[in-house]
Structure 1
Amino acid sequence: MSNKKSLLAVIHAPSPNTRRLRDAVVAGASNPDISGVALTCLSPFDASPDHVMIADAIILGTTENLGYMSGALKDFFDRCYYPVLEEKQGMPYSLFIRAGHDGTGTRRGVETIVTGLRWKAVMDPLICRGDWNEDFVPQCEELGLTMAAGLEAGVF
Structure 2
Amino acid sequence: MKQLAIIWHSMTGGSEALAQAAYDGARRVQGTDVRMLHAAEAGPEHMLSADGYLFLFPENLAAISGGMKSFFDRCYYPCLGALNGRPYAMIVCAGSDGRNAVAQAERIATGWRLRQILPTVIVCTHAQTQAAILAAKIIDVAQLSAAAEMGDQIATGLQMGIY
TM-score, normalization by structure 1: 0.92
Deviations 1:3-55 (A, max 9, x none): x1011010112323332212101111101xx2110011111110010011110
- Aligned with residue 14 of structure 1, among 11, 15, 22: 11
Partner of 1:49: 44
1:139 to 2:146 alignment: yes
Map 1:89-128 → 2, pairs under 5 A: 89-128=84-123
Partner of 1:28: 25
Unaligned 5+ runs, structure 1: none
Partner of 2:61: 66
Counterpart of 2:68 in structure 1: which amino acid? L
Unaligned 5+ runs, structure 2: 127-137
Segment of structure 1 superposing worse, 106-115 or 129-138: 129-138
Identity %, equivalent residues: 32
Task: Report the count of equivalent residues.
Answer: 151
TM-score, normalization by structure 2: 0.88
Question: What is the distance in 1 between the residues matched to 2:121 and 2:162?
Answer: 19
Structure 1 stretches of 4+ with a deviation exceeding 6 A read none
Counterpart of 1:52 in structure 2: which amino acid? M
Question: What is the distance in 1 between the residues matched to 2:48 and 2:104?
Answer: 22
Counterpart of 1:155 in structure 2: which amino acid? I
Q: CA deviation at 1:133?
A: 4.9
CA contact 1:102–1:130 (8 Å) conserved in 2: no
Partner of 2:135: none
Counterpart of 2:38 in structure 1: which amino acid? S
RMSD: 1.2
CA contact 1:13–1:22 (8 Å) conserved in 2: no
Deviations 1:135-155 (A, max 9, x none): 211111111111101111111
- Aligned with residue 155 of structure 1, among 142, 159, 162: 162
